[in-house]
Structure 1
Amino acid sequence: MPLIQVNAAGERPEPQGGAVRLGPLLDRALEGLAPRAPVAVLIHGLKFSLSDPAQSPHRHILALEPEDRCWKAVSWPRALGFTGQGRAEGLCIAFGWEAGRNVWRAYDEAPRAGRALARLIEAIRVRAPGRRVDLLAHSLGARVALSAMGALDEAAVGHAVLMAPAEFASAARPALCSAAGRQARVLNVTSGENDLYDWLLERFVARRGGGPTLGRGLGRTEANWTDLRIDDADTLAALARLGHPVAPPERRICHWSPYARPGMLGLYAALIRGELPYDLLRARLPEAQAARWSRLLGLPRVELPLPFAGNAPS
């Protein structure tokens, strides 16, 4: 059982389809799981809807075999190593929440979904005491993940990979100060490709948050927080030296680059599976800073001698 589907029903986690209850589903999913096998929860962002089958995340990025054929429909579970070949792969939980409305309603809904996610993680830890849960979230899914982190006990969260997070730094810092947040290892994946989306969030959702978004990073002020700027040539070179080459950016504007670009999901898989230690990654990365709009306003495309044959989305 490499993949199970759970949704936020208000502040409660419920299995997709409602045919089984959450407790028995988790019992079966966790039974016999190797101690070091990862348990990962994947959290989508804006526009996916639980009420519209055509917009279901379980038919798109959270599926083993996405039904959609657009370039953004990359199977997160499969790319992270959850293929169904055996229980040694660990457990992947596709977590859906109602984000199909406008950005304001989705932003307000995310904390409620975060409380449902926190209850799901608590239920896992009741059945598997001492096991940490890894979180991988895109866009507004990062707000869901951080909201959950702020409500959990220590050692509940292992890694938290935030891909182009649609959240404010002012909201992330309290989550980092929580019991779970102080021990979690956070990777904040940013890029100048996402500057437009960060600016729109700051401009139109500021009354619900405020200040800079996480796209600007937090720097090295927190020992368990690492900013990974994937449009920076030195950063891509450092990843290649670590044995995890990532394709260079192909677009000036792209919100999906942190998972759609070749090499990114493989990097996260290595992180959650212990093949790439978090502290090593943090130590080898440069502190990459760039002025907003630096990519949009005319810097030439980054070219690196990496083993990709021009197959990045365009």
Structure 2
Amino acid sequence: TLSCENVIEGHRNCNTTTWGYGKPGRTAQELVTLGQVTYSRSDPLSLAGNCSLVLRNISAEDAGLYTCRQYEREGGGQSHPDAPVYLSVVTLREQTEQNKVTFTCSVSLYYECRHKVKWLFKGNDVEKDHPDVKTSSPSSCSAAVTFQTSTYVYSSRFKLFICEVETENKQQLFTFSSGPTATTSMVTSGRKTNTTDSAGGSGAADRDLLWLYIFVALVLLALIITAVALFVKRRKGEGLNLFILHVSQRGSEVWNFGAQVTERVRKLLGCSAILRGH
């Protein structure tokens, strides 16, 4: 069930709600239009009372970005910003080949994999030199364990192995529910963001601003020096003393401007340091 975070109050049968689906490499699809399901699949979609989208028997193909959109009325304009929901699908699969069994845990996502996937054996990480269990990573977002059918591991395999998926410092555990394949989902509401260090980001911004002020001051100084050189070349002799006085005044103004810039940057950096301290 995918919740819609921007449902309009007072709607009738979700007649203001439209659900869309998108995934890199695939054409965007409209699943629900103003409360009416318009996309057909083997396990039909449906809407809950709060206009949440209900998917049954999901598979890796269902992973992607689902967007809930609200309209003022039929034929009217959009009333709220889109409410995105990211659906990730975790698939556990058992494969038997001769006397070997392989468990694979894979995660299908909308965006690039930032998850850590691994198998736990008896609740702990599998030892690298374990005599009965071998680990591998078929892809960046999957993990596998292999063991012999002749060992004690085989008879209790569904109880001994747990797949751990870590994302954003949060661990989630997945087990085989029944049979050789199990599928479950992870839902993330809200816009995808990149986590950054706020203190480091502020310091970088301060440094960028400082260099900007320095660059502007240097450009102005270079322009004034160029103007002085041209003027001196054209007007040697008469009126030179007056010009030097004028240039001196301009130089004083540039100096004062540089001092003002320095003071402003100093105060800005001081305020940033105080804010970071709190």
Which TM bucket (shorter chain)?
A: under 0.3
TM-score of the pair, normalised by structure 1: 0.22
Q: Which has the higher contact order (CA 8 A, sep 6+)?
A: 1
User: As a proportion of its length, which structure holds more strand?
Assistant: 2
